[in-house]
Amino acid sequence: MNVLSLFDGMSCGMIALDRLGIKVDNYYASEIDKYAMQVSQANYPEIIQVGDVCDLKSEDFKDIDLILAGSPCQGFSLAGKQLAFDDPRSALFFEFIRLLKEIKPKYFLLENVRMKKEFLQIISEQVSSCYPEITFGVDPIFINSSLVSAQSRPRYYWTNIPGIEQPEERGIVLRDILEPDAEEPMYSNIYCGFGEKKPREHYGKSVTIRANSGGGSIPNIKLKDLSKYHLSEKAIAYMNRSSPKWSNGKTRKDIYIKREDQKSDFLTANMHKGVPYGVIETQSAAWRKLTPIECERLQTVPDNYTNHVSNSQRFKMLGNGWTIEVIAHILKNMET
């Protein structure tokens, strides 16, 4: 089959198709981020890079069987400013609609974040207008990546691929994706209001898992109160999105705690605070950041798929990427 992937990033669509064993004759990738393209080409040198989506002409892609798109979501996200279609990044959605309507492939798949109902309705109306023969229109399918991974990542998917049901829960939690022998530079100790201060190592170079839910079986607690909170399991601790960068114990802002037997919150690409992981002890607190490989595993990406660029860029593109197992779950229903 021939595939056109818009806003391709690191070619998550190609990974999913490869995982399904679907033969791809031509995979055209529309992307402008040089680091994502570098990772894509390192893993799949046969991918054809076609540049900015705004410059694409539909007449050049008349033989396309599948269009994939995960248009920029910053203007839609409930966690963002919600400028929606006034945000130039989210307005790129209409480039997807333009090409979808003009090319009209056999199949398409569009992914985006949780958003206001009014935005969902606009997207559904626009997508449905491209396929008027679908009598009842194209409504989004809501799937949380937590069903197939150790990461809670709720997303909407619009597609004309038939028969999509919810994936079965695989019971994967954080302990299942952790590297037992993570390198020392990924570790960091912080002062928690007791004992002596300990040096921080490489603490500013970290991926972020957004802490926007809290709750669960572990309540929100203060940094200064960590020593009073005893856990029988190892735990992940990370900061509230609105809190400043981690510093020594003098900055005691709210943090959230996750145990190893829980799911992580979802990876993001636009923040650079710490994502420490580790053991909370009675008299000391030592965490380490999640490694790039652990973040790849949260997205069900092959280990070291992104290791062709710096860690900062790896974290960014993983935050922007798709959960491969969810995409594969949807694409497997295609008739090829």
Closest CA relative to residue 82, chosen from 124, 127, 118: 118
| DSSP type of residue 46 | T
192 carries an active-site annotation: no
Do the beta carbons of residue 174 and residue 236 sit within 8 Å?
yes
Task: Spell out the long-range contacts of 122-127 with Cβ–Cβ below 8 A and sequence spacing 24 or more.
Answer: 122/85, 123/93, 123/158, 124/158, 126/93, 126/94, 126/97, 127/97, 127/100, 127/158
CA-wise closest residue to 210 among 251, 253, 269: 269
**Cβ atoms of 317 and 37 closer than 8 Å:** no
Helices (H), the chain: 12-20, 34-43, 93-103, 117-130, 292-298, 311-320, 324-331
Around 87, how many Cα atoms within 13 Å sit in the side-chain half-sphere? Answer: 16
Determine which one of 12, 73, 192, 295 is catalytic. Answer: 73
Mapped onto helix, strand or coil, the DSSP state of residue 286 is strand
Q: Strands across the sheet with 154-159, in order?
A: 48-49, 26-30, 2-6, 66-69, 107-112, 154-159, 141-144
Which tokens belong to 218?
Answer: 């572990």
Active-site positions read: 73
